[in-house]
Structure 1
Amino acid sequence: MEQNKIPILSLKNIVTFVNRRTPSETMILKHLNLDVFDGDFITVLGSNGAGKSTLFNTIAGTLPPNSGQILHAGTDITGDSVEKRSRFLGRVFQDPKLGTAPRMTVAENLLLATKRGQHRTLALRQLKQNLPAFRQATASMNNGLSERINTATENLSGGQRQALSFLMATIRRPDVLLLDEHTAALDPNTSAQLMDQTNEKVLDQKLTCLMITHHLDDALKYGNRLIVLDDGQVKFDARGKEKDELTKEKLLSFFGNIA
């Protein structure tokens, strides 16, 4: 039973403000509680302003909570920096331009990602030794990325660049993967292809993943768990059989305007 397991990630009574100490100060997360267990693939829904991006920024450390506690495998990380959290956390953003170095090649970006969270030294790069593994990883995305392994990232298509961001986030298996609407900026065909590859890799590598999406079809199709954020709190949490039996109509009737 999950209640007898230690969550891989736990948010306890989290309060997060934005624009602190200004006239536009706003409480976004309002005593939010969430336990994420090893192997969970959670799709995250909510209307604009519900707190989805703030939730991810709070988990990643870019927006520390004003009160509450964040635990990683039972250890308090509430005060840990973004850099320290990067040792166990991977993230892919909505914008394909984020998360990659534009003037570095695909291979150089992947090499950089293998060093995520590690102490940097002046040791040789060892790029050539890693090329076979990088070619295999990029070939798994089935979008021509492996043929552009020596291409500067700024010259890739949006879909290829986002696929690279995904590979960079997962090349050193993270304990927790955050997908922040990572297919939203792509055309429908490219979005669907990347979503299929994402699902395959999450399942194959048994990754623990939270994925923000505005697409009800994707939220229902993927993952073992679905949560709805509203007014800074988790208002609905379906998993297992309950999640499998959800329909668009049930979701919309529960939380009217989330689409």
Structure 2
Amino acid sequence: MILKHLNLDVFDGDFITVLGSNGAGKSTLFNTIAGTLPPSSGQILHAGSDITGDSVEKRSRFLGRVFQDPKLGTAPRMTVAENLLLATKRGQRRTLALRQLKQNMPAFKQATVSMNNGLSERLNTATENLSGGQRQALSFLMATLRRPDVLLLDEHTAALDPNTSAQLMDQTNKKVLEQKLTCLMITHHLDDALKYGNRLIVLDDGQVKFDVRGKEKDKLTKEKLLSFFGNIA
């Protein structure tokens, strides 16, 4: 049992940075929320409704997720625009219909321009030919294109170089704040955990051992966090 009687309330508009050493339960928490790992006991509630037994597909109607690996979350042989078109249909029943790709191109252009990384000039490029940063930016856009109730960011900048990581984090923060998204973000970067979000939690041994928010989080320093949680950096 990795999660041990974990009880976590996530409120509308929370941007929670999630810290913890390897094996602390971070990915298990996300997999449980997303539905890829059913809990052995307890409940998962969304807007007051019990979704514990709901499938990943059913949860995709209100949940978006970006993984650490840029290769996950996109179809490699489909173009950027085709991937974005798939994202517009997230959680919907698939039926035989015209793709309507051409009609959506102006909206896709506008969405990709916001990432400031050249993705807008590659709408007709196969995703497998993008850089890692562009592919991860595409995954992020796909996860947020239809505003999710819950956004899970699973170390989504960890595989990128420092400059690309900082750029994506800046765009992530802007999108979360502009759309007032409810977001949980796993990170191993203490600076990012302190800089972004209104709330910070530390997982250890499958439990939430530290939960700080608002002005209390603003006062938190890297040194104080390290002294509480040892060498998680």
Q: Considering the TM-score relative to the shorter chain, is it more than 0.5?
A: yes
Q: CA deviation at 1:253?
A: 1.1
Aligned counterparts of 2:98 and 2:70: Cα–Cα separation in 1: 29
Q: CA deviation at 1:257?
A: 2.2
Deviations 1:214-250 (A, max 9, x none): 0000000000000000000000000001100000111
Aligned counterparts of 2:227 and 2:215: Cα–Cα separation in 1: 19
Corresponding residue SS for 1:30: coil
Corresponding residue SS for 2:21: coil
Match of 1:73?
47
Deviations 1:156-197 (A, max 9, x none): 000000000000000000000000000000000000000000
Corresponding residue SS for 2:29: helix
Match of 1:233?
207
Corresponding residue SS for 1:64: coil
Deviations 1:70-118 (A, max 9, x none): 0000000000000000000000000000000000000000000000000
Corresponding residue SS for 2:103: helix
Structure ranking higher in strand proportion: 1
Deviations 1:17-62 (A, max 9, x none): xxxxxxxxxx110110000000000000000000000000000000
Corresponding residue SS for 2:43: strand
Q: CA deviation at 1:258?
A: 1.7
Unaligned ranges ≥5, structure 2: none
Identity, in percent, stands at 95
Unaligned ranges ≥5, structure 1: 1-26
TM-score (norm 1): 0.90
CA-based RMSD of the aligned residues comes to: 0.4
Corresponding residue SS for 1:163: helix
Q: CA deviation at 1:256?
A: 1.1
Corresponding residue SS for 1:210: strand
Corresponding residue SS for 1:227: strand
Aligned counterparts of 2:119 and 2:133: Cα–Cα separation in 1: 9
Aligned counterparts of 1:70 and 1:55: Cα–Cα separation in 2: 11
Aligned counterparts of 1:86 and 1:258: Cα–Cα separation in 2: 32
1:165 aligned to which of 129, 139, 162: 139
Aligned counterparts of 2:48 and 2:228: Cα–Cα separation in 1: 33
Aligned counterparts of 1:97 and 1:253: Cα–Cα separation in 2: 36
Aligned counterparts of 2:14 and 2:232: Cα–Cα separation in 1: 22
Aligned counterparts of 2:66 and 2:227: Cα–Cα separation in 1: 31
Q: Give 4+ residue runs of structure 1 displaced > 6 Å after superposition.
A: none
1:59 aligned to which of 6, 18, 33: 33
Q: CA deviation at 1:255?
A: 1.2
1:96 aligned to which of 70, 81, 98: 70
Aligned counterparts of 1:32 and 1:233: Cα–Cα separation in 2: 5
TM-score (norm 2): 0.99
Match of 2:184?
210
